[in-house]
């Protein structure tokens, strides 16, 4: 399970005008260390604490809501 190379991810983020932080696990080390076996996986981390996650497709509004909710 790999997320792809950094250049492809960066190009996609730029094309979609996404401005949130993304950690690319291109060598699968993070997923293995956390025991993650499903994709897509979106984790919202606030000040080092996991505050929300989903393991399925999320609309842009749904992603915005999770990030906003994490900051309350």
pLDDT tens for 41-56 read 788 888 888 888 888 7
Q: Which two tokens stand for residue 64?
A: 């915005």
pLDDT at res. 3: 63
CB 71 within 8 A of CB 46: yes
Taking the C-alpha atoms of residue 60 and residue 17, their distance in angstroms, rounded to an integer, is 12
**Which tens digit of pLDDT belongs to each residue from 1-31?**
566 788 988 998 899 898 888 888 888 888 8
Q: Per the confidence metrics, is the pTM higher than 0.85?
A: no
């Amino acid at each position: 399970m790999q997320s792809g190379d950094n250049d492809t991810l960066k190009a996609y983020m730029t094309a979609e005008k996404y401005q949130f932080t993304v950690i690319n696990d291109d060598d699968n080390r993070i997923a293995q260390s956390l025991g993650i076996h499903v994709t897509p996986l979106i984790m919202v981390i606030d000040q080092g604490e996991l505050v929300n996650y989903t393991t399925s497709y999320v609309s842009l509004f749904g992603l915005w809501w999770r990030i906003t909710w994490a900051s309350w």
